[in-house]
Amino acid sequence: MYFTQGIPYVVVALLTAPMFVNLGLSNAEMAYYSSLLGFPWILKPIWSPIVGAIKSNRFWVVATQILMGFLFAVTAFFIVQDGTFTTSESFEFRGNFAWFFAFLMLLAFNSATHDISADGLYIEVLPEEKQSFYVGIRSSFYRVAMIIGQGGLLALAGILSEGGTFGIEKWGVHFFSFKGFGGDFYKAWSSIFIGVGVYLVIVSVYHAFILPKANIVNDKIDLSQIKKDIVETFVTFFRIKNIGIHVSVLLLFRLGEAQLVKLAQPFLLDESLNGGLGLSNIDIGLLYGTFGVLSLTIGGILGGVIVSKDGLKKWFLPMILAINLPNSMYLLMAYFKPESNVSIGAAIAMEQFGYGFGFTAYMMYMIYITKDSGKYKTAHFAFATGLMALGMTLPGMPSGWLQEQLGYVNFFWWVLISMVPMLAIYKFVKIDSGFGKKK
């Protein structure tokens, strides 16, 4: 279930940036449209109570998987309908791109709903001791989905788009062969969307039989009570002590990363004449999607170990720096234009390791500000995750336009400078010295 939770999220939230570049959109359009797809995860805390009230979490897991399967197939149709998405500076929805983007947004809403129901089912059917036991396993399968999605699917798009025959030849016989699409990324990405759609339909049938049922009977839907709960959650969240500082941290902690993440892969894809490194989808799939994700995971594990040993307060500033300073790797690559994939991979791995290490502080800070929320603790944490998504979405929207105005080198300088607001409010952040330490 958690592997399946990761796949549509990776495709819609992470792979759309390089996909839009492959399909001919400008960096400005790519960043704008791919950032808009993040809004369902911002709004997720608002409709999560409604999801739980209408049907069971098990129902929604299966239903959203089936629906996403068909939506992926329909979206694939609009990718290849005319074989071109023309670009413009007006950000207008043009022809088939309007339908293509509309179905991507529907996929995003369904993926966010699947997140809600999968997490809810996990909590419902497992006792607390088993929840703790399986948390590492579920996270590992989600990470595998990240690697397969960011690495495997991106590389596969490159393989499918290239000309030539791929396969196994023995004794002069092709046991498996496939002729590429001759550089046609439209057909390549359409094929990937169809493949993901087929997988989701198959796994939904499997889950319909195999997922456990929770011994919970939903009460009759009371929309007025749901509305009241949402309002109370909102009001009580903004009554938390020092909420102004907390909200500032949630929005500014990843300000630089929010802009970098939209242009990192387009920079790697872009031609040298435009200031990029001119890598292929296959190169990026291996370097960014595999070594990058593994470095991110190692950084996150190390960050968790250190915080549990010394507490969040001691490591908060170093982790702010850890999530921002390694962004300089892209500045160095933009300056020196390395041609070795080993050097590029090392730079990507360092940036992702720093992000994983620093993100630990961000997650722990969300737990810290909601730990005394009583009965609203879960709802307040969900609200904090919405602000986390907002902090990535809003800066990401204009980042492509900004890069086009500044060029890659100056843009990456700007990304580094973007850490200054967070450093400015750091001195106002108050964290209990014992928070996060393992008892």
> Chain-wide mean pLDDT for the chain?
85
Are residues 378 and 425 both part of a single domain?
A: yes
- State the pLDDT at residue 87: 46
What's the CA gap between 40 and 386, in Å, rounded? 9
Q: Are residues 163 and 233 in the same domain?
A: no
Domain boundary among 196, 221, 246: 221
Report pLDDT for 419: 95
Residue 103 C-alpha from the chain's centroid = 18
The answer to whether residues 142 and 251 belong to one domain is: no
Q: How many domains does the chain have?
A: 2
The predicted structure's pLDDT at residue 226: 73
**326-365 per-position pLDDT tens digit:** 999 999 999 999 989 899 999 999 999 999 899 888 988 9
Residues 85-130 pLDDT 10s:
554 444 444 557 888 899 999 999 999 999 888 888 887 787 766 7
| 53 contacts 222 by C-beta, under 8 angstroms | yes
Average pLDDT over residues 174-203: 82
Q: Between the CA atoms of 124, 197, 23 and 296, what dihedral angle is there, to the nearest 10 degrees? A: 40
Q: Is residue 237 domain-shared with residue 167, that is, in the same domain?
A: no
Asked which of 221, 250, 274 is the last residue of a domain, the reply is 221
CB count in 10 Å sphere of residue 98: 12
Whether residues 37 and 146 share a domain: the answer is: yes
Dump pLDDT digits (tens) for 14-51: 899 999 998 888 899 999 999 999 999 888 878 777 77
Question: How far, CA to CA in Å, does 25 sit from each of 32, 86, 368, 397?
Answer: 11, 7, 41, 14
Range of the domain at 300: 226-439
**What is the model's pLDDT at position 55?**
81
Does residue 215 surpass a pLDDT of 80?
A: no
**Over 50: is that where the pLDDT of 262 sits?**
yes
Rounded CA-CA distance 322/237 in Å is 29
Residues 239 and 359 in one domain: yes
Q: What is the pLDDT of residues 123-141, one digit of tens each?
A: 778 776 676 667 667 777 8
Q: Residues 53, 137: one domain?
A: yes
Residue pLDDT, tens place only, 379-395: 788 888 889 989 999 99
> Is 212 in the same domain as 230?
no
Residue 168 confidence class, pLDDT cut points 50, 70, 90: low
- How many helices (DSSP H) and strands (DSSP E) are in the chain? 20, 2
Residues 337 and 416 in one domain: yes
Q: Are residues 30 and 172 in the same domain?
A: yes
Same domain, 271 and 386: yes
Last residue of a domain, one of 158, 193, 221: 221
Residues 189 and 267 reside in one and the same domain:
no
- CATH at 29: 1.20.1250.20
